[in-house]
Amino acid sequence: MGRYLLTRAWQSALTLVLASMVVFAAVRALPGDPALALAGENRDAASLAAIRAEYGLDQSVPVQYWRYVVALAHGDLGTSVRTGAPVRAMIATALPVTLELGLLALLLAVAVGVACGVLAAVYRGGVIEWAVNAVALLGLSVPNFWLGLLGIVYLSVALGWLPASGFVPLSDPAGNLTHLVMPVVVLALGLAAVIMRQTRSAMLDSLGADYIRTGRRGCPRGPSSPGTPCATAWWWSPRSSGCSSEG
Protein backbone atom coordinates (compact mmCIF):
# COMPACT_ATOMS: atom_id res chain seq x y z
CA MET A 1 0.00 0.00 0.00
CA GLY A 2 2.81 2.40 0.87
CA ARG A 3 4.59 1.67 -2.39
CA TYR A 4 1.38 2.33 -4.31
CA LEU A 5 0.88 5.67 -2.54
CA LEU A 6 4.46 6.71 -3.26
CA THR A 7 4.07 5.78 -6.92
CA ARG A 8 0.86 7.78 -7.22
CA ALA A 9 2.44 10.72 -5.39
CA TRP A 10 5.42 11.08 -7.70
CA GLN A 11 3.21 10.54 -10.75
CA SER A 12 0.91 13.34 -9.55
CA ALA A 13 3.87 15.62 -8.88
CA LEU A 14 5.30 14.91 -12.34
CA THR A 15 1.92 15.65 -13.90
CA LEU A 16 1.71 18.99 -12.08
CA VAL A 17 5.21 19.96 -13.19
CA LEU A 18 4.51 19.05 -16.81
CA ALA A 19 1.20 20.91 -16.71
CA SER A 20 2.86 24.04 -15.34
CA MET A 21 5.52 23.86 -18.05
CA VAL A 22 2.88 23.50 -20.76
CA VAL A 23 0.88 26.47 -19.44
CA PHE A 24 4.00 28.63 -19.10
CA ALA A 25 5.22 27.71 -22.59
CA ALA A 26 1.77 28.37 -24.10
CA VAL A 27 1.65 31.86 -22.57
CA ARG A 28 5.18 32.62 -23.72
CA ALA A 29 4.33 31.42 -27.24
CA LEU A 30 1.64 34.08 -27.67
CA PRO A 31 2.60 36.69 -30.27
CA GLY A 32 3.56 40.18 -29.21
CA ASP A 33 5.46 41.75 -26.34
CA PRO A 34 3.60 41.63 -22.97
CA ALA A 35 5.36 44.84 -21.88
CA LEU A 36 3.96 46.72 -24.89
CA ALA A 37 0.45 45.48 -24.11
CA LEU A 38 0.73 46.47 -20.44
CA ALA A 39 2.19 49.89 -21.18
CA GLY A 40 -0.63 50.97 -23.47
CA GLU A 41 -0.40 53.54 -26.22
CA ASN A 42 1.45 56.27 -24.32
CA ARG A 43 4.67 54.44 -23.61
CA ASP A 44 8.35 55.22 -23.64
CA ALA A 45 11.55 53.28 -23.13
CA ALA A 46 11.64 54.00 -19.38
CA SER A 47 8.11 52.73 -18.77
CA LEU A 48 8.76 49.60 -20.84
CA ALA A 49 11.93 48.89 -18.86
CA ALA A 50 10.08 49.38 -15.57
CA ILE A 51 7.32 46.99 -16.61
CA ARG A 52 9.82 44.35 -17.75
CA ALA A 53 11.66 44.65 -14.43
CA GLU A 54 8.45 44.47 -12.38
CA TYR A 55 7.20 41.32 -14.07
CA GLY A 56 10.61 39.74 -14.59
CA LEU A 57 10.35 39.90 -18.38
CA ASP A 58 13.96 41.10 -18.62
CA GLN A 59 15.26 37.81 -17.20
CA SER A 60 15.91 34.49 -18.90
CA VAL A 61 13.09 32.03 -19.57
CA PRO A 62 14.23 29.48 -16.92
CA VAL A 63 14.33 32.23 -14.28
CA GLN A 64 10.89 33.43 -15.31
CA TYR A 65 9.56 29.88 -15.03
CA TRP A 66 11.11 29.46 -11.57
CA ARG A 67 9.55 32.71 -10.35
CA TYR A 68 6.22 31.56 -11.79
CA VAL A 69 6.39 28.22 -9.95
CA VAL A 70 7.44 29.83 -6.65
CA ALA A 71 4.63 32.39 -6.83
CA LEU A 72 2.14 29.68 -7.73
CA ALA A 73 3.25 27.54 -4.81
CA HIS A 74 2.64 30.48 -2.46
CA GLY A 75 -0.81 31.08 -3.90
CA ASP A 76 0.21 34.26 -5.68
CA LEU A 77 -1.64 34.23 -9.00
CA GLY A 78 -0.61 37.75 -9.93
CA THR A 79 -2.84 40.68 -10.81
CA SER A 80 -5.37 41.06 -13.58
CA VAL A 81 -4.14 43.06 -16.55
CA ARG A 82 -7.67 44.31 -17.22
CA THR A 83 -8.79 45.32 -13.72
CA GLY A 84 -5.53 45.49 -11.75
CA ALA A 85 -7.09 43.45 -8.92
CA PRO A 86 -5.38 40.35 -7.49
CA VAL A 87 -6.44 37.24 -9.38
CA ARG A 88 -6.83 35.27 -6.14
CA ALA A 89 -9.33 37.83 -4.84
CA MET A 90 -11.27 37.70 -8.10
CA ILE A 91 -11.45 33.89 -7.91
CA ALA A 92 -12.57 34.05 -4.27
CA THR A 93 -15.36 36.41 -5.27
CA ALA A 94 -16.58 34.32 -8.19
CA LEU A 95 -16.12 30.87 -6.63
CA PRO A 96 -19.26 30.89 -4.39
CA VAL A 97 -21.42 31.85 -7.37
CA THR A 98 -19.88 29.11 -9.49
CA LEU A 99 -20.31 26.49 -6.76
CA GLU A 100 -23.96 27.39 -6.21
CA LEU A 101 -24.69 27.36 -9.93
CA GLY A 102 -22.91 24.06 -10.48
CA LEU A 103 -24.50 22.37 -7.47
CA LEU A 104 -28.03 23.40 -8.42
CA ALA A 105 -27.48 22.34 -12.03
CA LEU A 106 -26.14 18.97 -10.89
CA LEU A 107 -29.07 18.36 -8.54
CA LEU A 108 -31.59 19.27 -11.23
CA ALA A 109 -29.85 17.11 -13.82
CA VAL A 110 -29.78 14.08 -11.53
CA ALA A 111 -33.41 14.47 -10.47
CA VAL A 112 -34.73 14.98 -14.00
CA GLY A 113 -32.40 12.45 -15.62
CA VAL A 114 -33.16 9.61 -13.20
CA ALA A 115 -36.91 10.25 -13.23
CA CYS A 116 -37.12 10.47 -17.02
CA GLY A 117 -34.88 7.42 -17.44
CA VAL A 118 -37.11 5.34 -15.18
CA LEU A 119 -40.25 6.50 -17.01
CA ALA A 120 -38.72 5.79 -20.41
CA ALA A 121 -37.82 2.24 -19.34
CA VAL A 122 -41.10 1.43 -17.58
CA TYR A 123 -43.26 2.85 -20.39
CA ARG A 124 -41.09 1.40 -23.13
CA GLY A 125 -42.51 1.79 -26.60
CA GLY A 126 -45.12 4.34 -25.50
CA VAL A 127 -45.68 8.04 -25.94
CA ILE A 128 -43.83 8.86 -22.73
CA GLU A 129 -40.65 7.17 -23.95
CA TRP A 130 -40.81 8.98 -27.28
CA ALA A 131 -41.28 12.34 -25.53
CA VAL A 132 -38.43 11.70 -23.09
CA ASN A 133 -36.11 10.56 -25.89
CA ALA A 134 -36.96 13.68 -27.90
CA VAL A 135 -36.07 15.96 -24.99
CA ALA A 136 -32.87 13.97 -24.37
CA LEU A 137 -31.91 14.27 -28.03
CA LEU A 138 -32.44 18.01 -27.80
CA GLY A 139 -30.24 18.22 -24.72
CA LEU A 140 -27.46 16.21 -26.36
CA SER A 141 -27.59 17.99 -29.72
CA VAL A 142 -27.95 21.67 -28.85
CA PRO A 143 -24.90 23.35 -27.24
CA ASN A 144 -25.39 25.02 -23.87
CA PHE A 145 -24.21 28.40 -25.09
CA TRP A 146 -26.83 28.36 -27.88
CA LEU A 147 -29.59 27.47 -25.44
CA GLY A 148 -28.39 30.27 -23.19
CA LEU A 149 -28.53 32.78 -26.04
CA LEU A 150 -32.03 31.65 -26.97
CA GLY A 151 -33.12 31.96 -23.36
CA ILE A 152 -31.75 35.50 -23.13
CA VAL A 153 -33.36 36.56 -26.41
CA TYR A 154 -36.82 35.13 -25.75
CA LEU A 155 -37.22 34.81 -21.97
CA SER A 156 -35.34 37.96 -20.99
CA VAL A 157 -35.46 40.42 -23.89
CA ALA A 158 -38.69 39.50 -25.67
CA LEU A 159 -40.89 38.38 -22.75
CA GLY A 160 -39.09 39.91 -19.78
CA TRP A 161 -39.76 36.90 -17.57
CA LEU A 162 -36.22 36.33 -16.31
CA PRO A 163 -33.15 38.57 -15.88
CA ALA A 164 -30.53 38.28 -18.60
CA SER A 165 -27.53 38.52 -16.26
CA GLY A 166 -26.45 39.35 -12.75
CA PHE A 167 -26.40 37.59 -9.41
CA VAL A 168 -28.26 38.17 -6.14
CA PRO A 169 -26.82 36.77 -2.86
CA LEU A 170 -28.62 34.13 -0.82
CA SER A 171 -29.74 36.82 1.59
CA ASP A 172 -32.49 37.49 -0.96
CA PRO A 173 -33.77 33.95 -1.76
CA ALA A 174 -36.38 35.06 -4.29
CA GLY A 175 -33.96 37.23 -6.24
CA ASN A 176 -31.26 34.58 -6.03
CA LEU A 177 -33.56 31.92 -7.45
CA THR A 178 -34.89 34.23 -10.16
CA HIS A 179 -31.38 34.98 -11.43
CA LEU A 180 -30.32 31.31 -11.33
CA VAL A 181 -33.33 29.65 -12.98
CA MET A 182 -32.26 30.12 -16.59
CA PRO A 183 -28.53 29.29 -16.26
CA VAL A 184 -29.28 26.28 -14.05
CA VAL A 185 -31.79 24.85 -16.54
CA VAL A 186 -29.43 25.47 -19.48
CA LEU A 187 -26.50 23.76 -17.74
CA ALA A 188 -28.60 20.86 -16.44
CA LEU A 189 -30.28 19.94 -19.73
CA GLY A 190 -27.25 18.33 -21.38
CA LEU A 191 -26.20 16.40 -18.26
CA ALA A 192 -29.79 15.31 -17.60
CA ALA A 193 -29.94 13.83 -21.11
CA VAL A 194 -26.83 11.74 -20.46
CA ILE A 195 -28.11 10.57 -17.07
CA MET A 196 -31.48 9.73 -18.59
CA ARG A 197 -29.98 7.49 -21.26
CA GLN A 198 -27.77 5.70 -18.74
CA THR A 199 -30.66 5.24 -16.30
CA ARG A 200 -32.93 3.93 -19.05
CA SER A 201 -30.30 1.42 -20.16
CA ALA A 202 -29.74 0.22 -16.60
CA MET A 203 -33.49 -0.05 -15.98
CA LEU A 204 -34.02 -2.08 -19.15
CA ASP A 205 -31.28 -4.47 -18.05
CA SER A 206 -32.96 -4.81 -14.65
CA LEU A 207 -36.39 -5.32 -16.18
CA GLY A 208 -34.99 -8.15 -18.26
CA ALA A 209 -33.50 -9.93 -15.25
CA ASP A 210 -34.70 -13.42 -14.36
CA TYR A 211 -36.35 -12.46 -11.08
CA ILE A 212 -38.42 -9.73 -12.75
CA ARG A 213 -39.59 -12.03 -15.57
CA THR A 214 -40.36 -14.81 -13.08
CA GLY A 215 -42.29 -12.40 -10.87
CA ARG A 216 -44.37 -11.17 -13.82
CA ARG A 217 -45.36 -14.69 -14.84
CA GLY A 218 -46.33 -15.59 -11.28
CA CYS A 219 -48.34 -12.44 -10.51
CA PRO A 220 -51.98 -11.75 -11.29
CA ARG A 221 -52.77 -8.96 -13.74
CA GLY A 222 -52.68 -5.52 -12.11
CA PRO A 223 -51.09 -4.29 -8.90
CA SER A 224 -51.29 -6.32 -5.72
CA SER A 225 -51.06 -5.12 -2.14
CA PRO A 226 -48.30 -2.57 -1.61
CA GLY A 227 -45.03 -4.04 -0.43
CA THR A 228 -45.67 -7.56 -1.75
CA PRO A 229 -43.38 -9.20 -4.35
CA CYS A 230 -46.19 -9.22 -6.92
CA ALA A 231 -46.79 -5.49 -6.50
CA THR A 232 -43.10 -4.76 -6.94
CA ALA A 233 -42.80 -6.95 -10.02
CA TRP A 234 -45.93 -5.40 -11.57
CA TRP A 235 -44.81 -1.82 -10.97
CA TRP A 236 -41.31 -2.26 -12.44
CA SER A 237 -42.47 -4.28 -15.41
CA PRO A 238 -43.01 -2.53 -18.77
CA ARG A 239 -46.60 -1.30 -18.97
CA SER A 240 -46.86 -2.43 -22.56
CA SER A 241 -46.44 -6.09 -21.61
CA GLY A 242 -48.42 -6.11 -18.35
CA CYS A 243 -48.54 -9.15 -16.02
CA SER A 244 -49.67 -12.51 -17.14
CA SER A 245 -51.49 -14.86 -14.85
CA GLU A 246 -50.70 -17.74 -17.15
CA GLY A 247 -47.46 -19.52 -17.37
- Burial-class residue 72 by CB neighbours within 10 Å (0-12, 13-18, 19+): middle
Average pLDDT per block of 10 residues along the chain, 247 residues long: 83 88 82 73 75 79 85 80 79 88 92 88 82 84 86 86 82 84 89 88 77 63 48 49 43
The whole-number pLDDT of residue 213 equals 64
The whole-number pLDDT of residue 105 equals 92
What is the rounded distance in angstroms from the CA atom of residue 93 to the CA atom of residue 108? 24
What is the rounded distance in angstroms from the CA atom of residue 152 to the CA atom of residue 208? 44
Dihedral sign from CA coordinates of 117, 122, 128, 129: positive
Q: What is the greatest pairwise CA distance in the chain?
A: 95
The pTM score is 0.66
The whole-number pLDDT of residue 243 equals 46
